[in-house]
Amino acid sequence: MPSPRTRVVREPERAVYDREAVYRILDEGMVCHVGFVTEGQPFVIPTSYGRKDANLYIHGSVASRMLRQMTDGVPVCVTVTLLDGLVLARSVFNHSMNYRSVVILGRATLVEDPEEKLAALRALSEHILPGRWDETRQPNERELKVTSVLRIPIEEFSAKMRTGPPIDDAQDYSFPTWAGVLPLEMNAGAPVDDTHHKPQRTAPEYVKKYSRKR
C-alpha cells in the first residue's frame, strides 16, 4: 500500500501501486533521476541504473559528489519516466502525454560486499544491454576500487500512468482541427562497427535486435 508520501493526490485514478507493474516500468527504462539535498541545496542527477529483485542499484566514481553525499545516508527520491505518446486535443489546455512513471523514496547505502558489488554491476550492465556482460572483460581490482555502488531498496514507491485518447470539453468536439495521439517509442539504429576491430567482427544478435520492449 502507498505511504502518505507516495500516495498520488493529483489525478489519483492514474495511480498504480502494484509492485510488478512498477518493476516493468523500471526494467524498460534506462535513465533515472536521483534527487537529494546537501547543505540546503537540492540536486537532481540523471544516471543509469539496474534492478535486482527489490533493490535498485546505481554506480559511479568514488569521487562523485552525488555518491559521496548519498553514502552519508541522506534521503533520496528516484524517478523514472517513459514517454509513450503526445496527446493532441482540440483545446491547447487539454493537450497531454501518455506516460508511465515511478517514484521511489528511501535512503541509499553503500554496497561493500565484493560479491554483491560485482552482481550489482552485472545487473547494471544487463539492464542496459542484456547479454553484453558475458562477452566483455570483467572489471579488474583497480576499476572496482574506484567505483562506488549504492543500493536503494524499492520499498516506498508509487507509479502513475496515462493512456488513451485526448479528453476535450464537450463544446470543443466540434472545433475544426485534428485530434488524437502521436505514439512515441525508442528504436535502435543499425550498429556502427568500431574501426579498431582486428580482425573485423560482426555485431552480435543482441546488438542487431536491440529493443527496450520487455
Q: What is the pLDDT of residues 38-52, one digit of tens each?
A: 888 899 999 999 999
- DSSP annotation of 60 reads E
- Asked whether the beta carbons of 172 and 188 are under 8 A apart, the reply is no
Cell 542499484: give the residue. Answer: 57
Closest-CA residue to 114 (of 102, 104, 122, 106) = 122
205 compared with 67, residue with greater pLDDT: 205
> In this prediction, what percent of the chain has a pLDDT beyond 70?
98
- What phi and psi values does residue 2 have, to the nearest 5 degrees? -70, 150
CA dist list (Å): 124 to 78, 86, 89, 97: 16, 30, 39, 29
Q: Give pLDDT, residue 132.
A: 94
Please say if the pLDDT value at position 6 is more than 80. yes
Given pLDDT bands bounded at 50, 70 and 90, which one contains residue 106?
A: very high
For each of the domains in the chain, give its residue range(s) and CATH number, in order of start: 12-208 (2.30.110.10)
